[in-house]
Amino acid sequence: MPFRQSDMGKTIAEKILSAKSEADLKAGDAAFITVDLVVGTDGTTPLAISEFEKINGCHVKYPERVVIVNDHFVPAKDIKTAQAVKMLTAFVKDNGISHYYSSGNGGICHVLVPERRLVRPGDLVVGVDSHTVTYGALGAFSTGIGSTDMACALHTGQIWFKVPQSVKVIFDGKPAADVSAKDIALWMTGHFGVNGLTYSSVEFEGSCFENIDIAGRLTICNMIVEMGAKNAFIPVDQKTIDYCGGGEPVTADADAEYVEVYHIDVSQIRPVVAAPYLPSNVVKVEEMGKVYVDQVLIGGCTNGRYEDFLEAHRILRGRKAAENVRLIIVPGSQDVMKKLTLSGLLSDFLDAGAVISPPTCGACAGCHMGVLADGEVGLFTTNRNFYGRSGHRESKVYLGSPETAAWTAIRGFITCC
């Protein structure tokens, strides 16, 4: 069923899900939906494989629509995670899955998948990771699912979906020069709270997106799940089409129904951080006292793209991290690592006293490569700071932008200048 711009009264979510189900769907309806891409990682796919193999006559219906990425434990940190990698390697080989990324050609899935141009506007993407919502920045309906759901999607090429209600968020005004996409994302999380957009499809609008690059748009959509949203869309423009190498934009009808329309004046947003232990616990950096840190991590699926490191490099070049601060640079993919090397940024980060990590989720999810000890404080450019998530249960993580992270590494306490 093609996308029909003449369909009246439909939101973007309703249009895409109707097209993928060949049914006329509205919010609240449920149906089997055909997916364009299924994304799995080493952290969650092993359970999906275990469930998949319980299905009689199991086979992957569309292997060309499946992407498997080793990203949470790269390289494997122990025997258990090494066994998981072995399991995934055998699975993709047995089922003819060509989109398999691991050490040497991989990265964090939410950096790698857009980078490899595997998503286009109008696609329906599901992944066994909540931050699959990231790809809404490219005009796709993308959302996280459970491992059992992934098993069904692998076998049938479809998934059972309830069409979400839609809300519209309009960004008015122009952000200040020192305000990044991450600041906007964190501010929104503080504004809506961790469940303020539960099971909603969020349609962003506003001229401010003209000044936000694809990396920034991916950052904003990456964090929409921290507000409970099912997915989000950023308007598809020529930047999107050029980045994706094509695709058909899907737009809402003028008379589409929204449960709420929000206007946000982005000119009033200042650099912020999220204090422990929720992404919604947002504080203006300029209003904080001196919070000293033990570690700064720049990277993750939220801010591990080359453009993010350009912003950090602008501040770190020619400067040193404070003596008592561990600065960890985590490129989001092997390609990002290569660009950092060829451009000279990696050398400058080393001169600043940074440790360079392989592309990995690592410390963000408490897996390895920089977890925190008892009582330690970190400033991370990642997306979650839950109790005990990134190390010891008594550690604390603040979330901030690459710019705030760079200044914090230099000063030794949380600051944006």
**Bridge partners for 298 per DSSP:** 329
Between 51-55, 118-122, 308-312, the lowest mean confidence (pLDDT) is in: 51-55
Segment 254-270 mean pLDDT: 96
30-59: average pLDDT: 93
CB 124 within 8 A of CB 13: no
What distance, in Å, lies between the first and last C-alpha atoms of the chain?
52
Residue type, 50: S
> Measured between alpha carbons, how far is 197 from 31 in angstroms, rounded to an integer?
22
Q: 333 and 108 in contact (C-beta within 8 Å)?
A: yes
Convert the pLDDT of each residue in 75-100 to its tens digit. Answer: 999 999 999 999 999 999 999 999 99
Whether residue 125 is predicted with pLDDT greater than 70 in this model: the reply is yes
DSSP string, 112-150: HHHHTT---TT-EEEESSGGGGGGGGGT-EEEE--HHHH
Distance CA 414, CA 281 (A): 15
CA atoms within 13 A on the CB side of 314: 10
In the chain, what are the domains? 12-264 (3.30.499.10), 272-411 (3.30.499.10)
- Contact present, 165 and 256 (Cβ < 8 Å): no
Q: Which residues pair with 167 in a beta bridge?
A: 202, 260
Q: Is the pLDDT of residue 20 over 60?
A: yes
Specify the DSSP element, H or E, that contains 284.
strand 282-284
Average pLDDT over residues 334-342: 97
151-184, pLDDT tens digit by residue? 999 999 999 999 999 999 999 889 999 999 999 9
CA 318, distance to chain mean position in Å, is 30
Q: What is the pLDDT of residue 3?
A: 53
**8 Å CB contact between 301 and 111:** yes
**Residue 6 pLDDT exceeds 70:** no
User: What confidence tens digit (pLDDT) does each residue in 368-403 have?
Assistant: 899 999 999 999 999 999 999 999 999 999 999 999
pLDDT of residue 383: 97
Burial code of 291-329, b = ≥16 C-beta within 10 A, e = fewer? bebbbbbbbbbbbbbbbbbebbbebbeeeebbeebbbbb
Tokens 């072995």 sit at which residue?
A: 86
Q: Is 102 in contact with 89 (CB distance < 8 Å)?
A: yes
Is residue 339 predicted with pLDDT exceeding 90?
yes
Query: 298 pLDDT exceeds 60?
Result: yes
How far is Cα 170 from Cα 101, in angstroms, rounded to an integer?
A: 37
Is 166 in contact with 258 (CB distance < 8 Å)? yes
Give the pTM: 0.95
Tell me whether residue 104 is exposed, middle or buried, using C-beta atoms within 10 angstroms of its C-beta: 0 to 12, 13 to 18, 19 or more.
exposed
- Strand segments (E) across 212-259: 231-233
CA atoms of 378 and 395, how far apart (whole Å): 8
- The conformation of residue 208, written as its DSSP 8-state character, comes to G
What's the pLDDT score for residue 2?
A: 54
Residue 263 reports pLDDT greater than 80: yes
Average predicted confidence (pLDDT) for the chain: 95
Identify the pLDDT of residue 103: 82
What DSSP element (H or E) covers 267? none
What is the predicted pLDDT for the residue at 22? 86
Q: Is 6 exposed, middle or buried (0-12, 13-18, 19+ CB in 10 A)?
A: exposed
CA distances from 373 to 41, 44, 78, 392 (A): 26, 25, 19, 5
Instruction: State percent of the chain over pLDDT 90.
Output: 91
- What six digits make up the tokens of 24? 């006329």
| H helical segments located in 38-176 | 45-52, 79-94, 109-115, 147-156
- Say if residue 411's pLDDT is above 50: yes
